[in-house]
Chains A and B, each alone.
Chain A
Amino acid sequence: MKIVVLIKSVPDTASLLQLTVDNKSILTDQLEYIMNPYDEFALEEAVLLKKSVGGEIITVSLGDKQSVKCIRQSLAVGADTSIWIRTSASIHLTAYKVAKIMAPVIRELAPDVIFAGKQAIDDDAAQVPERIAELLDMPHVSSITSFSLKDRNVMVDRQVEGGQYRMETTLPAMFTTEKGLNVPRYPKLMDILNAKKKQIREIIMDDMGDQDCSLKPGLETILMVLQKQKRAAMIIAGEPSEQVGKLVPLLRTEGIL
């Protein structure tokens, strides 16, 4: 079983963000990076699948040198090898372009199954895996919370608003992972040391030729605004009954109750 996992390096969720002077991007030099939290579920599912049916896990990440930490982590957790599609730090690629660049690299691997996170928590694009699946003409199911394989048949559960679907598909296929699918493991010290010996194949993006990317800027960020970190809280003091007595009329004036 050849299992490919897409992993993205993203700023730590606790980071304090600042904008560049032109207000079109965020300042990245001070940020700490982590593996996209949803990708941890994707990687864990790959490790569990390999344990049960055998095979090989290859992680693929596209990004600048910040990606190395995340790639090393994937090797420590259980990936056999990793592919790093290396970009320069200054470049911003939309999900459309990321998918176009990654798809041929993944096609060449001829995976049986691909796991990816349901969403990257930096650009919140929520579309790269589905796009890659389309480009590779594979069936895909988003946001799965369970996965089981029998022969080449896969049964998954996926969340939708107000419920859950149980879905069946056949390999090769792409799945994006939702929290609740599994509990990601932390690598042990030995794993981290062993991971240093594992191979990272580096592909320089600029060497890949034109991937249809020089075309149209179909989606362009013209301005970024930091959301306010505070709301003007009105603290309502007193005994609980006084507090409630003040709150309820306030909510009525807000037109809520």
Chain B
Amino acid sequence: MSILVLLDQRGGLKPTALEAVSAGRVIASVAGTDLHALYIGRCNPGLSKELKGFGLKKIFACEDDSLAHYSSESYVAIACELVRSLNPDVVLGSATAVGKESFASLAARLNVELAQDCVGLSWNDGLTATKPIYGGKVLAEMRVSDHPAMLTLRPNLFKISRKGEDIPEIVRLENPEIPVRTHIRAIVQTADDTLELTEAKIVVSGGRGIGGPENWPLLQDLCDELGAALGASRATVDSGWISHACQVGQTGKVVSPDLYIACGISGAVQHLAGIRNARVIVAINKDPDAPIFDYCDYGLVGDLFEIVPILIAELRSLRWMNSNDDGSTRINVAR
């Protein structure tokens, strides 16, 4: 019996990879099975160190510079071969864009079912997963009884937990160098990888209430102060004020931050579909009857152009108070 985690990497291991390993560890300890991981990517000499203390027994590593960038075809071929020889009971991964794509292919090749984007996992004589459906309006408890049971986990929800000093054994895999039909020709990186919406601990979003694209800098200032990612409602995306990559909601991104601040957003159901997993929601809206006030934890009725600057100033003074003697600052944004 074993559990295999496919490690999400983009140059380096992503936090989502550690989340999946941590979730895998919980299941492995309840089920009394071994926990293994598969790394595919460029050579990474620090791998066993990065992954120490997670209770991993083996890391299967297929390292090659030609594998630095994600390729559905080669990654899936490597994973498929390992799953066939290792025969794990559970295969876990991350519900990121590439994670979802490769798990869908892998599940098809292994001829098994797959539950994508799970928000909860438990083991009770078999695996049960919780998965949001209908844009998060419904949570479904699902029994995943295929062999292997395949699941991807929503980013930012499973806690990373390192305990102990155990160092996993590295098992090197040959790069099968299969011919691929799809090639990456260019990679455009957005400014800061860590501020990805779906992985951010804090998200500040703007809606039509911000009045126009010239007012994003105000919200960006608030983001900078909080170390937050900037999101947007569909109304602003459709008006061409911001790129669709920033849209939060049913036809945009689903976010799971500790704090979500909605500025000038009315709170349409399709928007709420993207924020149900936010731990705390703050709404700033000048209309006391805006539906967002039924779906927030703290509601500030008022003009965002008055409230947001004061909030920024307040946070700044707070940071001032917290700053260390050496002048470095410390805002505690940990979970």
Residues in A lying within 8 Å of B, measured CB to CB = 11, 13-14, 17, 19, 26, 37-38, 94-96, 99, 121-127, 129-131, 133-135, 139-143, 145, 155, 158-170, 173, 178-180, 216-227, 229-237, 240-241, 243-245, 247-248, 250-251, 254-257
Contact = CB atoms under 8 A, between A and B. Distances in A.
A219 B107 CA distance: 12
Contact of A13 (B115, B135, B244, B310): B135
Contacts, number: 266
B136 interface: yes
Contacts of A134: 105, 108-109
Given A130-B104, A163-B190, A96 B251 contact: no
B251 A155 contact: no
Given A179-B251, A243-B307, A96 B97 contact: no
A220 B149 CA distance: 12
Contact of A227 (B139, B192, B298): B139
B48 to A, nearest CB: 25
Given A143-B97, A218-B144, 18 more contacts: A13-B273, A19-B138, A123-B134, A126-B100, A140-B182, A142-B101, A155-B185, A161-B96, A222-B128, A222-B142, A225-B140, A227-B136, A232-B297, A233-B293, A233-B295, A235-B288, A248-B311, A257-B318
Interface in B245-263: 245, 247, 250-252, 258-259
Given A227-B139, A245-B314, A235 B301 contact: yes
Chain A interface mostly helix, strand, loop or mixed? mixed
A60 B80 CA distance: 30
A44 B158 CA distance: 38
A168 B97 contact: no
B218 interface: no
A223 B296 contact: no
A131 B104 contact: yes
Contacts of A232: 297
Contact of A17 (B134, B146, B243, B300): B134
Nearest to B115: A219
Interface residues of B, number: 100
A141 B245 CA distance: 18
Interface of B: 10, 14, 69-70, 72-73, 96-98, 100-101, 103-105, 107-109, 112-117, 128, 131-146, 155, 181-190, 192-193, 195-196, 198-199, 202, 237, 243-245, 247, 250-252, 258-259, 269-270, 273, 276, 279-283, 288, 293-303, 306-307, 310-311, 314-315, 318, 331-333, 335
B141 A163 contact: no
A155 B184 CA distance: 10
A130 B131 contact: no
Contacts of B138: 17, 19, 26, 224-227
Contacts of B273: 13
B80 to A, nearest CB: 10
Which one of B133, B142, B250, B294 has the greatest number of beta carbons of chain A within 10 Å?
A: B133
23 contacts: A13-B250, A19-B138, A26-B134, A26-B138, A121-B251, A123-B134, A127-B116, A142-B104, A143-B97, A162-B190, A163-B187, A163-B188, A166-B186, A223-B140, A224-B133, A227-B276, A233-B295, A235-B288, A236-B298, A240-B307, A248-B315, A254-B279, A256-B258
A99 B132 CA distance: 21
Nearest to A138: B181
A126 B187 contact: no
B230 to A, nearest CB: 14
B298 A233 contact: yes
B315 A231 contact: no
A95 B302 contact: no
A226 B280 CA distance: 19
Given A124-B133, A131-B108, A161-B10, A247 B186 contact: no
Contacts of B104: 126-127, 129-131, 142
A216 B146 contact: yes
B245 A159 contact: yes
Contact of A161 (B97, B109, B115, B302): B97
A130 B108 contact: yes
A173 B182 CA distance: 10
A150 to B, nearest CB: 13
